[in-house]
Amino acid sequence: EEVGSAIREALQDKTLSRGDLFVTSKLWNTFHDPSDVESSLRGSLSMLGLDYLDLYLMHWPVAVSKGNNTQGGGVPSYSEKGVMSTWEAMEKLQKIGLIRSIGVSNFGISKLTPLLQKAKVKPSVNQIESHPYLPQWELVDFCRSNGVLITAYSPLGSPGRDKKEEREPYLLGEEKVIGASRSNNCTKAQALLAWGLMRGTAVIPKSVTVTRIQENLGALNVTLSREAWDALNMMENQHRYMPGTKHFPPGVTQ
């Protein structure tokens, strides 16, 4: 609703036009039933004050029973609805103009493969966690070969999130990141974002601070040296900050 309020204000005072914006939202796990997809989308549109979304993503490749996010000790209760029926409902919403593009999030190769084989409309985007601790090269290459753009969330290692693991590695404090920053005359954040851009992925760092948003945009003007690129590709630490295990039943993976 806060985002919607800001959008409405900017559009009303002519600061921006709708064409200046690219707005993305996601379908949450409890709304995978085909009969719930449109109402969920319309709810998002209402809060944003928009007539359509530029991109709508299926948040996870699993469905959680409606009205029951968790049960007994925080273990989700799962429905049997398949990804394909949810995707078909999203395709219909694109056809009637409520969405410009549709995509997925947190899909691994095992979940993407059958979707690509059966979908009438191919996912335009797969939004995944990716950074030098978690490059996911195999998945990036798979998506590229199938015309699916990778969007990397947590490209800075998600330093600002509230809940962190004890003793988790700090990406922005890595010597190789510091070295890439110094040798390329940029900030550490810009070095990491430039690495993601040089891979051909989109990167979406999160910030509400104007100066940091401006700093992040400066990564568009950074091209890492070969030495810095190689160094960031050879991180000893490997870590996933957002494992998503709470969203999957035992034995089910991305």
Q: Which residues on adjacent β-strands are paired with residue 51? A: none
Q: Which helix (H) or strand (E) holds 104?
A: strand 99-105
pLDDT value, residue 71:
42
Q: How high is the pLDDT of residue 51?
A: 96
CA-CA distance, 37 to 27, in Å (whole number)? 7
The residues, ordered by sequence, that sit 6+ positions from 92 with a Cβ below 8 Å of its Cβ are: 38
Q: Is the pTM of this model over 0.85?
A: yes
The CA distance from 234 to 179, in Å, is 13
Q: Are 204 and 155 in contact (CB under 8 A)?
A: yes
DSSP letter for 52, please.
-
Q: What is the pLDDT along the chain (254 residues), one digit of tens a residue?
A: 889 999 999 999 998 999 999 999 999 988 999 999 999 999 999 999 999 999 999 999 988 877 655 444 444 566 656 899 999 999 999 999 999 999 999 999 999 999 999 999 999 999 999 999 999 999 999 999 999 999 999 999 988 776 677 788 999 999 999 999 999 999 999 999 999 999 999 999 999 899 999 999 999 999 999 999 999 999 988 999 988 765 565 555 55
103 Cβ neighbours under 8 A, 6+ residues apart = 55, 56, 57, 58, 123, 124, 125, 126, 127, 148, 149
Check residue 243 and give its pLDDT: 82
Is 205 in contact with 193 (CB distance < 8 Å)? yes
Which helix or strand (DSSP H or E) is residue 37 part of?
helix 34-48
- Of 132, 203, 204, 142, the closest CA to residue 171 belongs to 132
Enter the tokens of residue 8: 């409405």
Q: What pLDDT, on a 0 to 100 scale, did the predictor assign at position 205?
A: 96
Strand partners, 150: 126
| Torsion, Cα of 80, 82, 88, 94 (10° steps) | 90
- Dihedral sign for Cα atoms in the order 43, 45, 46, 51: negative
Q: What pLDDT, on the 0 to 100 scale, is given for residue 162?
A: 66
89: which 2 tokens?
A: 């409902």
| pLDDT tens digits along 43-102 | 999 999 999 999 999 999 988 877 655 444 444 566 656 899 999 999 999 999 999 999
Phi/psi of residue 13, each to 5°? -90, 10
Task: Work out the end-to-end distance of the chain between its first and last CA atoms, rounded to an integer number of angstroms.
Answer: 30
Q: How far apart are CA 250 and CA 188, in angstroms?
A: 38
